[in-house]
With several copies, the nearest count.
Chain A
Amino acid sequence: MSVRVQEADFDVGAELSHLTDGNKRIGGLAVFVGLVREMHVREGYHRDRVDAMTLEHYPGMTERALEEIEAEARRRWPLEATLIVHRYGRLEAGDRIVLVAVGSPHREAAFEACEFLVDWLKTKAPFWKLEETPAGEKWVGAHVGDDAAAARWEKKS
């Protein structure tokens, strides 16, 4: 039951050990680690390599948004432990960006809640990616697939 926004890298093993330590009701721990992927973007006739990016966020609002997303997951699934750690600042290809971990007595709930958290934080937490390409800096546009992924969790009213 914890949310952190930080510039520093995180230690996945230490985070997970701390999250589950002593809780013998957890049968399954589903985890997602987002990494900066080396990409090639088409820019006119050129294909540029993205080597690094800077992740900007909205201090204050970010933590609040992540806490609300986490609370929503806890309302929907029987969870024993949840953790979201999201980095900001300059990140290079191969660097970790985000860690989402969910522990539940049952693996189905852990997997579902983990996917839910990842989908929602992509569309509901105030982060913006600025990519560095050989041709210069470029703000990343929203990914249509992310909206679709987030929308599948919307409850019918």
Chain B
Amino acid sequence: MKVRYFAWMKRTVGVPEEDVAPPAEVATVGDLVVWLRHRSPGHAEALAEGAAFGAAVDQRTATFDVKLAGVREVAFFPPFTGG
């Protein structure tokens, strides 16, 4: 599964994207957030509890209860500021 980070989260994590293979018990986006925090201090900071960030699953905005089964790409990002 590919995980992507955008804006300041990309800088904090230290990479724009990475391929990960979480264990089967990581079933939802929320589970993935908790699991990713252990990869590095940068991950822990970017994905900290209470931080204002959202997610997309296969390039569609998703809530943290969305299931990961069959998903190819998950992205994490701060609130949008375009336009």
Do A and B pair up? The answer is yes
Q: How far is the CA of A97 from the CA of B78 in the complex (A)?
A: 20
29 of the cross-chain contacts (CB-CB < 8 Å) are A34-B83, A55-B82, A58-B4, A58-B6, A58-B59, A58-B77, A60-B59, A64-B59, A64-B60, A65-B61, A86-B82, A97-B82, A98-B83, A118-B83, A121-B82, A122-B80, A122-B82, A124-B80, A125-B82, A126-B80, A127-B80, A127-B81, A128-B80, A130-B7, A139-B7, A139-B8, A140-B81, A142-B78, A142-B79
Chain B contact residue count (CB 8 A cutoff): 17
CB of B75 closer than 8 Å to a CB of A: yes
Task: Report the tally of A-B residue pairs with Cβ distances under 8 A.
Answer: 72
User: What's the interface size class on A, roughly?
Assistant: 20 to 34
Residues of A within 8 A of B (CB): 34, 55-58, 60-61, 64-65, 86, 97-98, 118, 121-130, 139-143, 146
